[in-house]
Amino acid sequence: MPKVAIDGVVHETQPNELLIDLINRTGGSVPHVCYHPQLGPVQTCDTCMVEENGRLLRACAIGVADGMTISTKSAKASAAQVEAFDRILSNHMLYCTVCDNNNGNCTVHNTTKLLAIEHQRIPFRSKPYEVDNTNPFYRYDPDQCILCGRCVEACQNVEVNETLSINWEDPNPRVLWDGGSTIGESSCVSCGHCVTVCPCNALMEKSMLGHAGFLTSLRKSALSGMIDVVKGVEPETGYGAILQISEAEEAMREHRIRKTKTVCTYCGVGCSFDVWTKDRHILKVAPEHGPANGISTCVKGKFGWGHINNEDRLTTPLIREEGKFRQASWDEALALVAHKLSELKTKSGPDSIAFISSSKCTNEESYLMQKLARAVIGTNNVDNCSRYCQSPATMGLFRTVGYGGDSGSISDMEKADLVLIVGSNTAESHPVIATRVKSSHKLDGQKLIVSDLREHEMARRADLFLHPRPGTDLAWLSAISRYLLDNGVADTKFLDQWANGLAEYRKSLEPFTMEAAARISGVPEETLKTVAQMISEAERMCILWAMGVTQHSQGSDTSTAISNLLLITGNYMRPGTGAYPLRGHNNVQGASDHGAMPNMLPGYQSVDDPEVRQRFETGWKVKLPSAKGLDNHQMVEAIHEGKLNGMYLIGEEMSIVDSNANYVGDAFAKLEFFVVQDIFFSNTCRYADVVLPGAPSLEKEGTFTSTERRIQRLYQVLEPLEGARPDWEITQEVANRLGAGWQYQHPSEIMDEIASLTPMFAGVNYERLAGYRCLQWPVAADGTDEPLLYTKRFAFPDGKARLFPVSWIGPTDQPDSEFDLHLNNGRLLEHFHEGNLTYRTEGIREKTPDTFVEVSPELAEERGIQSGTWVQLVSRYGQVRVRALVTDRVQGRELYMPMNSLESPVNRLTSSHTDPVTNTPAYKETSVHLNVLPEVGESPLPRINSRFGHPTPQNGVEVERKWKRPDYAAPGNGLVQLQTKK
């Protein structure tokens, strides 16, 4: 190991280590204002000067080399550090005691102290700009901005939204949004990266302002007066004494500000962060150590918590009486639930009752829900919403490689040479995963191919964008596989060693010539050959896919075709390769993992395997049913047929998010007894007989499993709102009133039981998951987990993968002369799913108030439609009224409707057709007729929506432009300019 001497002490270094990291790792101290380990060297602040052999170096910009002798404290280095920091203070008014950022982590405050600055040699100079308050979630104060550029680096190269820059050539540089727009009218997507990394109070969450400090809620005039007083005494007392006062105030804050780690409640990326709270007020979300996300979040995880303290929260159980709901005590409501479930079981048998668990709830809660169904009621009628999206992807992987989960981690997607995205609007549905792909594509030469109906952000960034006809991905994917095999560029060595079934698979590919694929998909043969070429040239390829694949009548087969393609190109078993079906909800992976499925006990152990059943029967001390239960699609049919009479549903807006919503609603109306547990009175609650108020993620403990199979703990940030209860406690109460005798005191005990019965989770426990620690299943008893699957073998008895033949059938519900347009649907960045949570955050509502239907410019012209025109969409199953948004994201006769609406849910239009293998609805196969209505309203997306902004892509903060300023000279004497990047 190379050795470096720092201030006379010799240290061993680590490979590719930056000098600043070595100094910090070994307990040294050198100021560093602009350096942030997750951003790499930015080199704007000049405070990290060190001396080596008489020359000055920026410690953040240089990698360690054997034999270096570094001084961080020599007179030369110290003078340069102080000079650089003086320049910073001329851009920032120190008023720490009355600053909401005075929380012990302000870099400017801490560096003032570290350098023992007593007096400011260069006076503070105000900048000629107003504070920008135009974003609902954060504000920028140019006068406090030290021009470190961390925010620019984060926005340009981590989030890669490319909104921010600094006008280095201007006499008064500042941070710019879209080159000079207000924040509110810029392309800023409010992901919060910039605010998170700002080392001072220049960018602040509005939820902090006036709330974090003891004196910060004072009127502005009073605050200004106090700041003047502080400035007045500074020449005499020096900063030392002033900082002591601010540190006393900071210490007082420690007693009232709680910082609690949680995991995001929205999508399957699994971002984790600390939530800062003062009583029930959420001060801010602080991402820093998340294993999936680091400093990253999207607008929902960073700012979308308006639902927590919303006045609409359910806090009292409700019982329907004579068609109306009345409030009831917990005791009465639970007694009624137990009585009715018990009565139904006696009268019509256990299989007359069904259970829907929630992919928003914890693993432990899904486990208890399926245990209630199986061990207490005696039915396998239990499912979760992965049926609506993920089951086909899981099936494709079960068929081919053995485990139903992402084969690697987000870090593998970053490492890949080629990422192929099929049917996933990743930048909006899995925003933090998209940042990693965008960054590798922008900075590291990663190639990107996107196949989608819409030209969304990832499509616009792609090296190659394919627009196949709806539902035809299977055809072109299989043709690529055949072409690679036919042309001898498949990975035959890998296939020989690791895959079964090649001969049969090859035979199944016979119909998939390039010519046939081009005819079916509409993608030209030449383009498909380019795809094949790019795949064959890539050393490491990852394929990401989502609901654009799975929500089709051949969702399972297309997922299988994807995995087949990865196998024939040898893109499994190595870092930077693999299959990534991106999971939608925060815990949709975990809900299935923990047995909320009609055919599987926890850990994907089949209900009809006597050995498995025996283990659970011994553990639970009951006899278990062996016949597969009903999935949630079959449940709706069974209600209509009169075979299913009772249902207990937790945290799912099923009456809106299941397809053919009118049909589902009619079914719920027929139920003899229906219990809905939720945090709001959802649309589904309207059909309930009893409504039980559950608790959102911030009000309970447990674990979530993200798309990477990453199990992470969430800690209780807030007490449940008075009257609401954590869902696991409610389920336990129901079970006990039915005679179960469960005695779980804490979710950790539930996890211990799961681990004892489920080989896949044998080594999972709360200690191993403490804080930001996590495990990616499968987890062996000794706690060894598998961030990358299949490194030694595939998950089949012989260790080999299976090429699984599929054939082309084609989509259902095709357009005809009456229903002449194809309707696609999906998510929007700002809203999650139907929007029950996100519409309760005011800033999100302000920027994205409603759903709409995207209409192509061609169709708009043909039908006389403009953005804001009201239209009626009519399908074979229902109709909705919605405003049009004319955009070139869609083409020709294809429409797109985001699913975030309670008033006009797209699922009034979708059908009951399903993928026959998994019963996942073919949501994306919907044909409609469009009637233009006479009213023209405002555009459904206001001007302040980020989609109307104009990003300014550039290569990070571009500090070289600062160095070229005529008034710039490096501090100290003898700086060697180095531009080392990590």
Interface contacts to ligand FES, rule CB under 6 A: 32-35, 43-48, 58, 60
Q: Which is nearer to ligand FES, 46 or 364 (CB)?
A: 46
Q: Is the dihedral of CA 907, 912, 915, 919 positive or negative?
A: positive
Q: Which is nearer to ligand SF4, 80 or 200 (CB)?
A: 200
| 860 part of the interface to ligand SF4, by CB under 6 A | no
Residue 350: which of ligand SF4, ligand FES, none does it interact with, CB under 5 to 8 A by kind?
none
Shortest distance, CB of residue 831 to ligand SF4, whole angstroms?
A: 11
d(CA 760, CA 795): 12
Residue 266: which of ligand FES, ligand SF4, none does it interact with, CB under 5 to 8 A by kind?
ligand SF4
- What residues numbered 101-160 form the site for ligand SF4, per CB under 6 A? 145-151, 154-155, 159
| 271 part of the interface to ligand SF4, by CB under 6 A | yes
d(CA 641, CA 639): 5
- What residues numbered 908-947 form the site for ligand SF4, per CB under 6 A? none
Q: Which is nearer to ligand FES, 43 or 907 (CB)?
A: 43
d(CA 340, CA 344): 6
Shortest distance, CB of residue 42 to ligand SF4, whole angstroms?
A: 9
Residue 35: which of ligand SF4, ligand FES, none does it interact with, CB under 5 to 8 A by kind?
ligand FES
Shortest distance, CB of residue 957 to ligand FES, whole angstroms?
A: 11
Q: Which is nearer to ligand FES, 44 or 571 (CB)?
A: 44
d(CA 624, CA 609): 11
Task: Give Dmax over CA atoms of the chain in angstroms.
Answer: 91
d(CA 29, CA 6): 10
H helices present in 658-779, as ranges: 661-670, 727-737, 747-757
Q: Which is nearer to ligand SF4, 298 or 591 (CB)?
A: 298
| 164 part of the interface to ligand SF4, by CB under 6 A | yes
Of 183, 99, 177, 91, whose CA–CA distance to 133 is shortest? 183
Q: Which is nearer to ligand FES, 61 or 209 (CB)?
A: 61
- Structure-token pair, residue 820: 């002449």
- Structure-token pair, residue 4: 């470096």
| Strand 801-802 versus strand 821-826 pairing type | unpaired
The residue within the footprint of ligand SF4, chosen from 64, 189, 882, 890 (CB under 6 A), is: 189
Residue 205: which of ligand SF4, ligand FES, none does it interact with, CB under 5 to 8 A by kind?
none
Shortest distance, CB of residue 143 to ligand FES, whole angstroms?
A: 21
| 269 part of the interface to ligand SF4, by CB under 6 A | yes
Residue 202: which of ligand SF4, ligand FES, none does it interact with, CB under 5 to 8 A by kind?
ligand SF4
Residue 827: which of ligand SF4, ligand FES, none does it interact with, CB under 5 to 8 A by kind?
none
- DSSP one-letter code for 691: E
Q: Which is nearer to ligand SF4, 45 or 484 (CB)?
A: 45
| 188 part of the interface to ligand SF4, by CB under 6 A | yes
Whats the size of the chain, residue-wise? 982
Residue 161: which of ligand FES, ligand SF4, none does it interact with, CB under 5 to 8 A by kind?
ligand SF4
The residue within the footprint of ligand SF4, chosen from 97, 101, 163, 914 (CB under 6 A), is: 163
| 546 part of the interface to ligand SF4, by CB under 6 A | no
Phi, psi of 441 (to 5 degrees): -70, -40
Shortest distance, CB of residue 27 to ligand FES, whole angstroms?
A: 18
| Residue-wise DSSP of 628-665 | ----HHHHHHHHHTTS--EEEEES--HHHHSSSHHHHH
Using CB under 6 A, count the residues that bind ligand SF4: 38
Each residue 199-238 as x (binds ligand SF4 by CB under 6 A) or -, in order, gives -x-xx-----------------------------------
Tokens 């992919």 locate to 359
H or E, element range at 394: helix 391-400
Give the residue closest to ligand SF4 by C-beta: 301
Q: Which is nearer to ligand FES, 35 or 819 (CB)?
A: 35
Each residue 417-436 as x (binds ligand SF4 by CB under 6 A) or -, in order, gives --------------xx----
**Which amino acid is present at 978?**
L
Cα–Cα separations (whole angstroms), residue 911 to 457, 641, 896: 28, 18, 16
- Structure-token pair, residue 657: 């998010």
Q: Which is nearer to ligand SF4, 298 or 886 (CB)?
A: 298
Paired strand residues for 879: 874
d(CA 873, CA 931): 6
Of 411, 481, 466, 474, whose CA–CA distance to 439 is shortest? 411
d(CA 295, CA 569): 34
Cα–Cα separations (whole angstroms), residue 258 to 276, 286, 979: 6, 12, 40
317 Cβ neighbours under 8 A, 6+ residues apart: 327, 328, 329, 330, 332, 333, 334, 690, 691, 692, 693
Residue 438: which of ligand SF4, ligand FES, none does it interact with, CB under 5 to 8 A by kind?
none
Residue 192: which of ligand SF4, ligand FES, none does it interact with, CB under 5 to 8 A by kind?
ligand SF4
Shortest distance, CB of residue 976 to ligand SF4, whole angstroms?
A: 25
d(CA 778, CA 489): 33
d(CA 477, CA 457): 22
- Structure-token pair, residue 974: 């003898």
Residue 155: which of ligand FES, ligand SF4, none does it interact with, CB under 5 to 8 A by kind?
ligand SF4
Residue 108: which of ligand FES, ligand SF4, none does it interact with, CB under 5 to 8 A by kind?
none
Shortest distance, CB of residue 34 to ligand FES, whole angstroms?
A: 3
Give the range of 161-169, 444-452, 538-546, 549-557 binding ligand SF4 by CB under 6 A: 161-169
- What angle do the packed helices 555-568 and 391-400 form, to 10 degrees? 40
- DSSP one-letter code for 468: P
Contacts with ligand SF4 by CB under 6 A lie at 145-151, 154-155, 159, 161, 163-164, 175, 188-194, 198, 200, 202-203, 264, 266-267, 269-271, 293, 297-298, 300-301, 431-432
